[in-house]
Structure 1
Amino acid sequence: MPAKAKKKAARKTSKKKSTRKKKSVTSGKQVARYWWTYPGKRLKDPIIWEVGQKFKVVTNVRTASVDIDMGIVGIQLEGEREEIKRAIAYVEKKGVNVEPVEIGAIAG
């Protein structure tokens, strides 16, 4: 056996296998961005806070514009796909219009 082949074989056998569990690619975790449009009567309701408390999602306000009649919030939600869906359904039930953000509209 040539010297290079012996070294390569020795390296393969000396490597220890990792005991850490790898994260599953199909775990359902995702980051999603939305525009939430609040009607004036809902502006004082702590809906973003409620979403963070009631659902296993992380909320991140990316941009916002609020006046007397309405508010528009660019928000990022991070969590399991099903949990994000449940959070969105809750927000819509509260009277907030939810639309997905087009790619690049709220940069990184």
Structure 2
Amino acid sequence: MREKEIIKYQDVAFRVVFQSFEPALSITEREGALFLSFSSILVSDNEHWYEVPLKEISSIDIDEGGLKPKMSFKFENGTLEVTGNDRASALALRHFLLPLIGRHDALCES
């Protein structure tokens, strides 16, 4: 991963699903943290890092059906599923990111 300024948003559980494989390949849900940078979202379990550039995200959905909200960041080849701690944080993050996703002129191209 390239060196860049990132900020930890919150501790989360996450799962990455790659749909470019048949059947879809899923990484087992892991405990870790969600991070933000100027041009991407990142998750880490302190051993591995997964990065999705904002310009590649096509949608952000929130499922509030469980005890904790689950956010789904959809991109061309898969989905990043993040289970956060509270509804307000998930909604705030979604509203913050919506104007930035899918833009090829994202804030800071790396």
The TM-score normalised by the length of structure 2 is: 0.28
Structure ranking higher in helix proportion: 1
Report 1 or 2 for greater relative contact order, CA contacts < 8 Å, sequence distance ≥ 6. 1
The TM-score normalised by the length of structure 1 is: 0.29
Structure ranking higher in strand proportion: 2
Q: Which has the larger radius of gyration?
A: 1
